[in-house]
Chain A
């Protein structure tokens, strides 16, 4: 295959993938608001995705808070601006680092899990069995999982932000003897409505992207165990790429409405 032919093939595959993912997304919105609603399965998925990601998200948030504070402190000290630490850390964590890191962790943990689970169900004909039994597998498997990630991710982001700020406080307290009240007073003074709302909305879209990509990759998985592995892997790769694109768009839109 010549280079030109390869580029042509890659571009064609890319646009086909975009088209199929768009169709899948449209099908999700069309199905999500039509009965029957699989509430029991939705709650089960929320529990699995939220509760079981909590530890990983918490640890990641804690380390991010520690590292960010340790690495920023010398520079702020040099400029005599170490008192700005809580404000700087809170804005960077709440606006950007918290949502994107949590989303990336969830893309790895939840996105790949969804891709592998639905993929193996496709390969072993469990999805066909579901359809034959009169249950709409798209409604039961896809809608519940996408909604569960979309609902759980903003919550996980809030928890990760809180733990990251606590990690930052621990460093400030040990190195600068800053009290808990003073640190968090400065944190909440620095934060505005324009910081929290866009970050939460952004997290909802992150969750939607992770859920949709994971389900799409699993639902249209190729036959065989290799297909399942590929579905899980590409669910993480495509979702991670999409997260950065959504983040880029979100920052642009936020800048228009809230003048960052």
Chain B
């Protein structure tokens, strides 16, 4: 399956230049570079512990990079103050690996939570209830509105977490292992949902995964993160036929 989309390469929404991050003597990111274009689905693959999650957390300011620049919609996030960073974060939806729904709140309260700080994004006619319903409809879980997270299955949690990020109508979506811990059927449903969201909201998506099937279906381009660097960039078709053993290892038995 290929994703033939017209990507405007003049319109960069997110750019990382020469990113470095170490934990003691462990150099996790060692000069990582990346460009995400408007409307693009960019998949980042790498082995466990290769620094994918660290990189994505640096992107939203949850971790501080040692050096390098991170530009999100022309804003260098390493130089923003807290207030400006919070405003910018409303344009970035973040799906956490474990969904990260607030245990003590209902689904409705989980979805209302991001609205507390970003009411100015909507006109005065928009009310919280309609925004919550709209977001839940987008993921097909309107009936779950009054349930607690403990009453949801793994797949439902992911969907609700996606709805929570959609409620602020972000321009960029960051997915950290969106299909991890899910059975193949639910994983496929989540991938389809991600595609639907991309079409409906026109978001640009950065997807971190080591699920090759997910990468094949959703990616416009892929970056392989090896040795803390953007080892190779290309489409799924290009990378899956690559002769480099380090790259071939990712696609072994998965290129059909």
A interface list, Cβ under 8 A from B: 117, 120-121, 124-126, 128-135
Contact = CB atoms under 8 A, between A and B. Distances in A.
Given A128-B57, A128-B62, A129-B94, A134 B114 contact: yes
Interface stretch (B21-29, B66-74, B97-105, B192-200): B97-105
Given A117-B104, A124-B100, 14 more contacts: A124-B103, A125-B100, A128-B57, A128-B96, A129-B96, A130-B102, A130-B113, A132-B60, A132-B62, A132-B94, A133-B113, A133-B168, A134-B86, A135-B117
Contact of B98 (A125, A131, A133, A135): A125
Contacts, number: 50
Contacts of B98: 124-125
A48 to B, nearest CB: 10
Contacts of A129: 94, 96, 100-102
Given A125-B98, A126-B102, A126-B103, A132 B92 contact: yes
B90 interface: yes
A239 B104 CA distance: 25
B130 to A, nearest CB: 19
A132 B116 contact: no
Nearest to A126: B100
Contacts of B100: 124-126, 128-129
Interface in B88-136: 89-90, 92, 94, 96-98, 100-104, 113-114, 116-118
11 contacts: A121-B102, A121-B103, A124-B98, A128-B57, A128-B62, A129-B102, A133-B113, A133-B117, A134-B114, A135-B113, A135-B117
Contacts of B97: 125
Interface of A is mostly: helix
Nearest to A38: B116
Nearest to A133: B114
Nearest to A135: B117
Contacts of A120: 103
Contacts of B96: 125, 128-129
A134 B117 contact: yes
B91 to A, nearest CB: 11
B209 to A, nearest CB: 17
Contact of A135 (B103, B116, B168): B116
Contacts of A124: 98, 100, 103
B89 A133 contact: yes
A128 B59 CA distance: 13
Contact of B62 (A117, A121, A131, A135): A131
- The 10 A-B pairs at the shortest CB distance, nearest first, are namely A134-B117, A129-B100, A133-B114, A134-B86, A125-B100, A125-B96, A132-B94, A126-B100, A128-B62, A124-B98
A134 B62 contact: no
Contacts of A130: 102, 113
B7 to A, nearest CB: 26
A140 to B, nearest CB: 9
Contacts of A134: 86-87, 89-90, 114, 116-118
A135 B60 CA distance: 14
A126 B157 CA distance: 13
B167 to A, nearest CB: 9
A148 B57 CA distance: 32
A74 to B, nearest CB: 50
Contacts of B113: 130, 133, 135
A132 B168 CA distance: 12
Contacts of B101: 126, 129
Contacts of B62: 128, 131-132
Nearest to A120: B103
Nearest to A127: B100
Nearest to B168: A133
Nearest to B96: A125
Nearest to A48: B104
Nearest to B57: A128
Contacts of B60: 132
Nearest to B118: A134
A125 B97 CA distance: 9
Interface string B42-77: 000000000000000100101000000000000000
A139 B100 CA distance: 19
Contacts of A125: 96-98, 100
Nearest to B85: A134
Contacts of A126: 100-103
A202 B36 CA distance: 57
Nearest to B116: A135
